[in-house]
Structure 1
């Protein structure tokens, strides 16, 4: 048995609440992502025709919106690595680092910084209705606000899972 296998075998299991929080963190990006994909597909999704045209959701704008959506979801899915075995020892198919155990301090530091940044950046969506978007219909603005509201929870959920990950690693002496 290798050192990496011994290290991960000695880890206590992730708390059930942390596993649920990690899954929730991966899911909170879906509603806004689906809305953005609708925009990229040509639906005005709450924008006025003039507002939709002005936002430039066609051509490269659509590529950007799809990339933003896919990238955001992939980043959200990384939260699962804090509670799953593939986050303890990286899968072998990952070039250069596959089969290795990531540095626990680096993982905790990056996840903590990401949680703080997400909280700062995404908290604004809690106040969506205080600043109506001039290029959206009132109904469209309400729907978009509802779809973006779950993003407010992403940062705090990641922070909670990061704390659980850190405590679990510390309890195992890693």
Structure 2
């Protein structure tokens, strides 16, 4: 009985230990990444999180259908997952395929395979959130050019408008931060390529 309980105690921390190891593997920066660059990468998911949390209560609104509910939840989760990929620009899994990926595990990722989608993403996100969303908000129109409805959060006023601006304003930083991280990633990979050739 004593041996069984001890073995059970030994096994208990396995899950937290695995989670901690996975967390470190996902977030630990590779050599050559400055603390500032690491901080910028860790900040990206937090520029998206407030908007996702702000949207989620709408999924429980009694006036919408199941399809809209699922879309709201999916959009929030998908946006956060896309934002998390910014951490790959400073972590090992952005340079080498992780061990849990079948067939490709352990293979070096060509810099262009990361730089091209990251640069396109940074450009699109900057245009969408830092330019287009800001311009339409100032002009009081939707992206399509229609007038904002009276029940739009920024038009309602009060706490609804305050919470909307507080939660959506950080999205303005998403594209520019991703752009800075993309440039830093490209420079770091170019340096490592040069070092590999000279070695």
TM-score under structure 1 length normalisation: 0.78
1:56-81: CA deviation from partner (whole Å, max 9, x where unpaired): 4x411010011111111001000000
1:100 alignment counterpart: 107
Tell me by how many angstroms 1:110 deviates.
1.0
Structure 1 residues 38 and 95: CA distance shift in structure 2, 3 A = farther
Give the equivalent residue in structure 2 for 1:163: 183
Alpha-carbon separation, structure 2, partners of 1:167 and 1:78: 18
Compared with structure 1, are the counterparts of its residues 134 and 98 closer, same or farther at alpha carbon in structure 2 (3 Å cutoff)?
Answer: farther
Contact conserved, 2:98 with 2:105, CA < 8 A, in 1?
A: yes
Q: Higher Cα Rg: structure 1 or 2?
A: 2
Report the counterpart of residue 14 of structure 2 in structure 1: none
Greater than 6 Å deviation, 4+ residue runs: none
2:92 alignment partner in structure 1: 85
Report the counterpart of residue 67 of structure 1 in structure 2: 74
Work out the number of aligned pairs and report it.
152
Structure 2 match to 1:126: 134
Whether contact under 8 Å (1:129, 1:145) holds in the other structure is no
Between the aligned partners of 1:92 and 1:130, the Cα distance in structure 2 is 49
Specify which structure has the higher proportion of helix: 2
Structure 1: runs of 5 or more not aligned? 1-10, 44-52
Q: When the two structures are superposed, what TM-score results if normalisation uses the length of structure 2?
A: 0.69
Higher relative contact order (CA 8 A, sep 6+): 1
1:95–1:133 Cα change, 3 Å: farther
What CA deviation, in whole Å up to 9, does each residue of 1:63-115 have, x standing for no partner?
Answer: 00111111110010000001011222121222443322221112111100100
